[in-house]
Chain A
C-alpha cells in the first residue's frame, strides 16, 4: 500500500490534465465499486394496488398467514375480554388461520392482519395525544382460540386455528348491521436495520362488508368450553 501511495503522490505532482484523469478514474472506480457491491436499492413501490373484494367464506393469503373468514358477530362473553361490561361490547370475527412459514409467528402479527374500518365506537378507547381518522382501520385487539378460549399469542406453522379476533365497541354506539373488514398483508423481506428476514410493510390486500349477527337471547353462548377442566 505504501508503495502505491508513493506512486499516487508522484502522479498528483503532475499537470492539471493528470489531475483530471485521476479524478475521472477515481469517480469511475467509485461508481463501479457501488455497482459491484450490489448497487443502491431501488425505492420501494408502496402504491396501493386494487383491493380485492372480501366476503364471508373467502380465503386470503395475507403473507404470514392464510386467513379464511367465517362470520362476524357480537359476543356476549369470552374469557378475558370485557365480560358483562356495560360500557363496551365485543365484536368478533370468527376465522380459520394458518401460518405460512416455517417459524412460529407472534400473535400480534395476526391481530395486525385483520382490521375494522369505519365502525362507530371502535376503538372503544382514545389514544392520548393522538387524533384518529375515523376511516382508519383498527387492528384486532386480540385473538382467542375457540377450542379453549386461550389467547393465541403464538401461531405455530402447519397448524390450523379456529380463532375469534375481537374488537371492543363502545356500547353507546349501535350494533352495526354490517362492518367493513380490511385484511392487511405483510411482505417477508430483509430488515434494513439488522438484516434479518421479517414480515414488514403492512398494506391492505382485501376488504369487504360483513354482516354482523347479534346474539340471540336463547341461543347457547358461543363461549368456548373451559379448556382441560
Chain B
C-alpha cells in the first residue's frame, strides 16, 4: 500500500476531521459565554482622562432591551476627603492604617429619562489588579448605592418589578458630577477606571 493510497482512501475522513474538531470544540465551550464573557466587562471602549466620550450599550428589564447612550468624562483621580453620598452625614471617611481612599471625579451627561443607576465602577492599578466601588465594608459605613448618578437625584430606575414606578425621585440634571470613593492599599497607583452598565460592554478610561 503506498502512502498516496492512504491519503486518497481517507480523503473524505480527512476533509471531515477539521470540521468535526471545530464542532467538538464549539460544543464543549457552551459555558464560555455565561461564565467568562458575561462575567466581567470584556468588550471595552477605550478613552483617556479629560476627554468627553459617548458610551452606548444596552441594559434589559421587564420591557426587554433598554439601549442607552451616556457621555462621560473622567476629570481625575485624587485623594478623597469625604464619602460619596452616605445616607447619614454622621458617616465619615476614616480609612484604617495602610489604606488610602481615592475619589474618582467623573462628569456624565444624559437625558433625565435614561435609567443609569445600575452601574459598576472598578479602578485598576498598573498591574491590572482591580478594586471595586463598595457601598459598605468594614472600613466604609455607607456610600451611595450607585457610583454614577447624583445620590439625591438618581433619575429613573430600570423597570424591574411589576407595580413599582421606576421614576419617582427628583429630576436628574442633564449634566452632573460624581466623586465615588474607592479604597486601595497605600502606595498603589490608579492607572485605569472601568465603568459598566452590565457586561460584556464597558468603558475603560486611562488615567493620565
Residues of A bordering B, CB below 8 Å: 1-3, 5-6
User: Would you call B13 an interface residue if the criterion is a C-beta within 8 Å of the partner chain's C-beta atoms?
Assistant: yes
Which chain B residues border A3 with CB–CB below 8 Å?
9-10
CA distance in complex: A5, B14 (Å): 12
Question: Could you write out 11 A-B pairs with CB less than 8 Å apart?
Answer: A1-B13, A2-B9, A2-B10, A2-B12, A2-B13, A2-B14, A3-B9, A3-B10, A5-B13, A6-B9, A6-B10
Q: How far is B174's CA from A166's CA once the two chains are assembled, in angstroms?
A: 57
Which residue from chain B places its CB closest to the CB of A3 in the assembled complex?
B10
What is the minimal beta-carbon distance from A12 to any residue of chain B, in angstroms? 15
Give the docked Cα–Cα distance between A1 and B10 (Å). 10
Chain A interface SS verdict (over half):
helix
Interface size range of chain B in the complex: under 10
B 7-18 binary contact with A (CB < 8 Å = 1; else 0): 001101110000
What distance in Å separates the Cβ of B172 from its nearest Cβ neighbour in chain A? 39
A-contacting residues, B27-86, CB 8 Å? none
Identity of the chain A residue whose Cβ is nearest the Cβ of B17 in the assembled complex: A2
Instruction: Across the interface, name the chain A residue whose C-beta is closest to B13.
Output: A2
A46 to chain B, nearest CB (A): 35
A5 to chain B, nearest CB (A): 6
Give, as a whole number of angstroms, the nearest-CB distance from A170 to chain B: 31
Q: Which residue of A lies closest to B9 (CB)?
A: A6
Which residue of chain A has the shortest Cβ distance to B12 in the bound complex? A2
What residue in chain B is nearest A5 (Cβ atoms)?
Answer: B13
Kindly report which residue of chain B lies nearest to residue A2, judged by CB atoms: B13
The residue of chain B having its C-beta at the shortest distance from the C-beta of A6 within the complex is B9
A1-B13, A2-B9, A2-B14 given; name 8 further pairs at CB < 8 Å.
A2-B10, A2-B12, A2-B13, A3-B9, A3-B10, A5-B13, A6-B9, A6-B10
B10: A residues at CB distance < 8 A: 2-3, 6
Q: In whole angstroms, what is the CA distance A1 to B21 when docked?
A: 14
Q: In the complex, what residues of B have CB within 8 A of residue A2's CB? A: 9-10, 12-14
Q: Chain B, 123-160, contact with A by CB distance < 8 Å: what is the 0/1 string? A: 00000000000000000000000000000000000000
A-B complex: 4 closest residue pairs judged by Cβ atoms: A2-B13, A2-B10, A5-B13, A6-B9
